[in-house]
Amino acid sequence: RQLMGRSWPWKGWDEVTYGMRPAVYVVYGPEGTGKTEVIKEITFHILNTEPIMLSAIFSFEHEPEESLQRLTASKVNKRIYLPGAEWDEQHISNEMDTFDEKIFWYKYTGVLRFEEIIKAIYYLANVKEVKFFCLDNLTAMTSYPYIEGKRVSEQEYLGYVINTVKQIQKELKLTIVV
């Protein structure tokens, strides 16, 4: 018997997917359509509904500090990441602290290598017991399109990445949003 998963931030998604269950969910769309914003709202929802699910964010477009600032902006309902926005720094700092020990940030330097991402997912899932992962965005991972030392096309590499992510998800019973 299938059980309803935890809620999404949007009722319509709950109706279509029967809630968020361990699976790989792909948010797809053209550049600039708000995919990162959707993922941010999903993460914010997970971190602010019971039971809280430890989460990991692999953002390849934003530094962890900027991602945390955007999550906090959702919490306080202010665009604190925009120039000219006004806020109380102590209040914002306190709100940012509420995410401590609920979320792990992947920070990379140099070339983005999928093998390193895989190692980090296994570590966070097995050692830190993280159950929710966000990989934002897939296209960024194609900057080093090599499989077993051989350069491949972007399309072949994306297929490899998604299939590998699906295998990891099934093995570790995770929820992964890409």
- What are the helix (H) ranges across 32-86? 35-47, 64-76
Each residue of 36-52: pLDDT tens digit?
A: 889 888 988 998 888 88
pLDDT confidence bin for 167, thresholds 50/70/90 = very high
pTM for the model stands at: 0.86
Q: What is the pLDDT of residues 11-24, one digit of tens each?
A: 999 999 999 999 99
pLDDT digits (tens, 9 = 90+) for 88-129: 788 888 888 888 888 999 987 777 888 899 999 999 999 999
**Pairing mode, if any, of strands 146-147 and 132-136?**
unpaired
